[in-house]
Amino acid sequence: MATSSAPSAPLIYRPALAWFAALGAAWVFVLVTLGAFTTSIGAGMAFPDWPLSNGSVNPDGWLENLAMFAEHSHRLTGAVMGFITIILAIWLWRKESRRWLRNLGWSALAIVIIQGLIGGKRVLLDSLAVPGFEMTLGQMLRIPHGILAQVYVCVLIAIAAGLSRGWIERGAPVTTGLRRAGNICVLLLLVQLIIASAMRHNFAGLAIPTFPFSTADGGLLPAHWDYRVTLNFMHRAMAVVLTIALIWFAAKIWRDRGATLAMRSGASLMIGLLVLQILLGAHVIWQLREPHVTTGHVVCGALLLATTFWLTCLAHRDAIESPAP
């Protein structure tokens, strides 16, 4: 027997809200860049207090001292990001009829609050030793802080995508296989970024000082192993897996008849970012973790995740917006 369902409410494009969400999705990369640069130059403890910096919102000399400038700019940018997220969450709650978008708005707000608290505790607990570990408790908090930042990027990208004109006006009737490929690639990228964060904050970026080989005489495997070498080698091995997976995902997009022009262009961008990321990773080693190159590698990784996640969101667009039976 046939069943009927109530017609779904029409999707409404709200230009002001859409552009504000896009602003938030762009601003988060300013925050990621400053955070990456602060870590790359070892300036995370330029100020021993929090939420103020040397007891002030405008500490003396912060514009002249590079370490102080990096850390205080990161804090100020984070505060702006917080205000943007508050406005976005309330705006979605008041104007957006789609529950999944309203929920994402509140999720973004929860994440930015947690991120602020983790960042603050990273400073305040910097001197608290943890038995059996080289890092203090504050230093350990850098790892979840870096990982949660990538999740936050994905949430903002999903909100901006769902509010965009292209999402509202056009569907993307792609195959189930394409959607599955996107899911796999996003998961692999998140695993890689977790490994990268652990490697970075354990000072293991040069644990294997040669590239592309693991030894000076061309060996594929390191000559010796410890936890830093293991993290570094895992990062390299996952990069090979990701290269294959992302090329596979891009090829499926290019071949899928339901893929939009934006998706096909995005697939090309994704591959371009992949190539750039590999080159930057090589130069991180060849230039002994030069801060600007290292920062570029971190930011490019975030952009690669954002692009892949955006493409995956577009692939799921019709399934997300289809009326419930």
- What tens digit of pLDDT does each residue of 223-232 get? 999 999 999 9
For residue 324, count CB atoms less than 10 angstroms from its CB and return exposed for 0-12, middle for 13-18, buried for 19 or more. exposed
- What is the spatial distance between Cα 27 and Cα 110, in angstroms, rounded to a whole number? 18
- What tens digit of pLDDT does each residue of 278-321 get? 999 999 999 999 999 999 999 999 999 999 999 999 999 999 98
Percentage with pLDDT > 90 across the chain: 91
Mean pLDDT of 6-12: 66
Q: What ranges in the chain are assigned the alpha helix state H?
A: 15-40, 66-95, 99-124, 137-140, 142-163, 165-169, 176-201, 227-255, 261-286, 291-315, 317-321
> Across the chain, what does the average pLDDT equal?
93
Model confidence band, residue 134 (pLDDT cutoffs 50, 70, 90): confident
Question: Is pTM beyond 0.75 here?
Answer: yes
What's the half-sphere exposure (Cβ side, CA atoms, 13 Å) at 96? 26
Predicted pLDDT of residue 324: 52
CB atoms inside a 10 Å sphere around CB 225 = 11
Question: 56 has which bridge partners?
Answer: 53
Cβ–Cβ < 8 Å for 205, 228: no
Predicted pLDDT of residue 322: 77
Torsion angle (degrees, nearest 10) of CA 318, 320, 321, 325: 100
**Where do the structural domains in the chain lie, given as residue ranges?**
14-165, 170-325
- What tens digit of pLDDT does each residue of 49-108 get? 999 999 999 999 999 999 999 999 999 999 999 999 999 999 999 999 999 999 999 999
- What tens digit of pLDDT does each residue of 179-232 get? 999 999 999 999 999 999 999 999 999 999 999 999 999 999 999 999 999 999
